[in-house]
Amino acid sequence: MANILSTGTSALLAFQRALSTVSHNVANLNTPGYSRQTVDFEARSPQFIGAGYVGRGTQVSDVRRVADDMANARLIDSGGELARLQQLSSLSNRVDSLMSESTTGIAGVWSNFFDSVSALSSNAAAPAERQNMLGQANAMTTRFHQLQGQFDQLATEVDSGLVATADEVNRLASEIAQINGRIGSAQNAAPDMLDRRDQMIRDLVALTGGTAVQQDGGAINVFSAGGQALVVGTQPSQLTTVADPYRPERQQLALVSQGQTIRIDERVMGGQIGGLLEFRAQVLDPTQAELGRIALGLGMSFNAGHTSGVDQYGDMGGPFFDVPAPAIAGHSANTGTARFTAAVDDLAAIDGRNLVVQLKDGAWSATDAQTGATVPVTGSGAANDPLRVAGVALSLDGAAAEGDRFLLQPTAQAARGLNVAISDPGRIAAASPVQVQATLGNLGSAKPGTVRVTDAADPALRTPSNIEFIEGDQYTIDGEGPFAYTPGDTISANGWSFVLDGIPSAGDSFTMAATAPGSSNNGNAALLAGFDDAKALNGGALSLNGAISGLTTAVGSAARHAGYAAEAQATLHAQAFAARESISGVNLDEEASNMLRMQQAYQAAAQIIATADTLFQSLLGAVRR
């Protein structure tokens, strides 16, 4: 009798626990990272009764989660890459919107400015056209400042994101290490605890990229994409941020290990942090540098043309734009007293790359700050022999110690510092400094074309000159010569030049004289109107218009590529998630079937107990008689 009751009770308890497990699965249907659990049954040890063995029912041997290590590892890997690409795509799209939208980009106000210069060349004496040109110039420089301000805001967001993410990494790493300790000290870990650890590992790898490796004893070690140990057994590492040694306002990542703070190479991080760092290095910094190079190219080339003209007061033009000098900052660990003053030496040679200039083995060298590639350096650094590197001249002040390093940013801050240098419309140098006129009595058909200034610094530029043709193929300048002449040849002297249209005759003469104050001459304005197409960059191969188009295209291309990559990775991640769910996910139909089956088994076990009770009661009744 007792055997029947014990057998029924064992079945009742076993199926009750199985029903609880099914209920637990259904309750956690929407719990992230939950793996469905299943109950394993085994027969209880039989009892020997002399004639053989009689079974004693069933018992639960294990409640285990249904999981596949390969599927989990694939989901972890795909999640880290997806987080990186989504972060990169999101931030890149914001830069693309800034550069491509007409209300925020530079192209519209750029065109408006040069349109105003062209309008001035059509009516150089008109006060309204002059005022309009100044207004459009101020609007353009303001747009440069606004874009730089937006880029600075994005840089601040990246820094804030690094600080916040580092704190979250530390929290997750600490909790994973604690669970490792609990699992390592227990013979059988609770399935829910394993699920929690797996979910935290996925969250951690989504922030840093990397892998998870199981070690003996049940603990899991987690490494970042660059191989830095984030969790080893029960020991978590601490991620922190430190100030950039060249730019204290910028944050860098570092790992605190055994009391030492070690800076992490930003190029080997993955996950959300990797997306932030990649955006800053591959999209934000290059965009800032190229925008600054355009601002620098505009300011320097336009100033060169403007100083070659004459304003309404009859004075030679001054700088139209204030153009900032390249920025250079020393490393915080420098021990010498050296300081550099930077100036643009060759605009066409400036490419916008940030460079590290270092004193090594007693000589100065330069490398690309991003790639480490060597960049040629000439000069000693003295005032009369400055260092020349990538179009920049560096004059040294003080004494440098061995190993001292400096970060040179030729254009990164140029957009912020570009401003209009004049406020008086009369100071716009729209006129050529000199004008050439044909003598009324000339017999030939030659007419002078536009005068071009070839050397605005020539002291004799505005000195009156007389060009006289002694023959149709010979001429003198202020009695000097004769010089051979072929139709189409350029006539030049004293920093000016012009070309005749037509054929001169013997005795024809032309006079060159300084442009008078208040002149309506538009010669210099006509030249300035075409400066947007002047090939001032890339060694004279790229125009300013081309640089703007190239920048907008490059930013848009980077955003699109990041978006496409994120979409593709999202598909791969969805497949990895589906693969895991097909193994570990809760299926309501399956759980309903299991519940019905366990319910029936439970009821059958209860019936066994009821039968045992009936038999027992019958036995008691017989004894009472």
What is the per-residue pLDDT across 114-161, written as a single tens digit (0 to 9) for each? 999 999 988 888 899 999 999 999 999 999 999 999 999 999 999 999
Task: Write the pLDDT tens digit of every residue in 36-51.
Answer: 999 988 988 888 777 7
- pLDDT exceeding 70 applies to what percent of the chain? 99
Task: Tell me how far apart the alpha carbons of residues 492 and 489 are, in angstroms, rounded to a whole number.
Answer: 10
Which of 432, 439, 425 minimizes the C-alpha distance to 520? 432
Phi, psi of 224 (to 5 degrees): -75, 175
Residue 340 — very low, low, confident or very high, per pLDDT cuts 50/70/90?
A: very high
pLDDT tens readout for residues 380-392: 888 789 999 999 9
Please tell me the predicted confidence (pLDDT) of residue 490. Answer: 93
Q: What is the mean pLDDT of residues 263-285?
A: 92
Mapping DSSP to helix (H, G, I), strand (E, B) and coil, where does residue 56 land? coil
Segments in 482-543 forming alpha helices (H): 523-528
pLDDT value for 8 = 81
Mean pLDDT of the chain: 91
Instruction: Return the pLDDT at 187.
Output: 59
Give the mean pLDDT of 359-379.
91
Above 70 in pLDDT, residue 621? Answer: yes
State yes or no: pLDDT of 56 exceeds 70: yes
Phi, psi of 368 (to 5 degrees): -65, 125
Work out the pLDDT band at 591, boundaries 50, 70, 90: confident
% of residues, the chain, pLDDT over 90: 67
7-44, pLDDT tens digit by residue?
A: 888 888 888 898 999 999 999 999 999 999 999 889 88
Q: Residue 41 in contact with residue 598, Cβ under 8 Å?
A: no
Mean pLDDT throughout 265-284? 92
Local confidence band at 228 (pLDDT 50, 70, 90 cut-offs): confident
Q: How remote is the C-alpha of 70 from its chain's centroid?
A: 33
Write the DSSP symbol of residue 537.
B
- Nearest-10 Cα torsion for 381, 386, 389, 392: 130
CA dist., res. 398 & res. 106, Å (int) = 40
Q: How confident is the model at residue 227 (pLDDT cuts 50, 70, 90)?
A: confident
pLDDT band per the 50, 70, 90 thresholds, residue 282: very high
pLDDT exceeds cutoff 60 at 1: no
Between CA 161 and CA 289 the distance in angstroms is 22
Is residue 545 pLDDT above 60, yes or no?
Answer: yes
Pairwise pLDDT comparison (254 vs 618), residue with the higher score: 254
Cα angle vertex 159, ends 224, 331, to 5°? 90
pLDDT of 185 over the 70 cut = no
Tell me if 485 sits within 8 A of 468, measured CB to CB. Answer: no
pLDDT of residue 625: 60
The pLDDT of residue 321 is above 80:
yes
Mean pLDDT, rounded, for 239-248: 92
Q: Which two tokens stand for residue 547?
A: 């640089």
Handedness of CA 65, 69, 74, 77 (dihedral sign): positive
Q: What pTM did the predictor assign? A: 0.87
